[in-house]
Amino acid sequence: MRERDQVASAQKRKNRYRQAREDLGWSRAQLAAKMGVDTTTLGNWETGTRQMTLEKLTLLSEITGFSVEYLLGFDNEQVDWLKPISRNTLLTMHRSPVWCASNGWGLVNIATHTLVFADLECVSWETIREPLYAFPPVLAYALFGQGEPLLRSQVEMRQKIWLELITTDLELSLAYRGWYHLYEKRMVFNEFGHRFYLDNYGVKWLAFDDCFGFSQESHLDEE
């Protein structure tokens, strides 16, 4: 339970839940509704009277767009996501994707200190000796998505996104990457009939606002 102890310790020190909410111009009632809790519960979290669960902390990060690390008050050390991730930083990245050269993309599970990769292999991160990245080094992986991957909440607000599979299979990645349209905030689809559901976002695929070499504008001109 040491991960929960570290989260609790950070929240007792000074969290940024209220600051994040006010930066977005939201009332306590508005954020509480988005998180599916009452205002009293949210107020207790903001004041540190009660501790937020890992699940709700992850949800808060997705809704607000602020990193878990920032929300917990670790901001004095600004993380450069293009550099290797420390094992301590992994403790703030529950359910977030990370990348390594030998296995490709995997999801962080801080409860078991493991990474779950696309082939469902579960590996203890203590046994992985190579660097881990939030984004792969340039040219290490054929990813055409430009910029940072979107949050699921951001994907739901888009009409069109550039999709990249989370896979180590380059041929499969090339076959499915491209521009996709959003349908009823449930899935995305493209002109070839390929579809991906948002329930699998961050596990099977990632979305971007733009891509290298295939601008949305030029694609729209062709349609």
Q: Give phi and psi for 126, each to the nearest 5.
A: -70, -25
Same-domain pairing of 39 and 105: no
Q: Does one domain contain both 36 and 57?
A: yes
223 has a pLDDT exceeding 80: no
With H, G, I as helix, E, B as strand and everything else as coil, classify residue 138.
coil
Q: Are residues 182 and 130 in the same domain?
A: no
Looking at this protein, which amino acid is placed at residue 8? A
Number of domains comprising the chain: 3
Q: What integer pLDDT is reported at residue 160 of this predicted model?
A: 93
Q: Is the dihedral of CA 92, 97, 100, 106 positive or negative?
A: positive
Q: How confident is the model at residue 39 (pLDDT cuts 50, 70, 90)?
A: very high
Cα–Cα distance, 179 to 161 (Å, whole number): 6
197 is in which domain, residue-wise? 145-222
pLDDT at 220 over 50: no
Q: Would you say residue 99 has pLDDT above 90?
A: no
Domain boundary among 21, 36, 71: 71
For residue 9, pLDDT beyond 70: no
What count of Cα atoms within 13 Å lies in the side-chain half-sphere of residue 169? 12
Instruction: Name the band, by pLDDT with cuts 50, 70 and 90, for residue 136.
Output: low
Instruction: Give, as one character, the DSSP assignment of residue 73.
Output: T
Same domain for 6 and 52: yes
Residues 120 and 52 in one domain: no
Asked which of 94, 113, 140 is the last residue of a domain, the reply is 140
Are 132 and 166 in the same domain? Answer: no
Q: What would the pLDDT profile of 147-182 be if each residue is shown by its tens digit?
A: 678 899 999 999 999 998 887 666 777 788 889 999
Based on the fold, state whether residues 42 and 105 are members of the same structural domain.
no
**Degrees, nearest 5: CA angle 162-148-134:** 120
Q: Nearest Cα to 114, choosing from 131, 126, 100, 132?
A: 126
Same domain, 164 and 111: no
Domain-ending residue, one of 71, 95, 111: 71
Residues 47, 20, single domain; the answer is: yes
What is the CATH classification number for the domain harbouring 42?
Answer: 1.10.260.40
More confident residue, 20 or 42: 42
CA-to-CA distance for 145 and 178, rounded, in angstroms?
Answer: 9
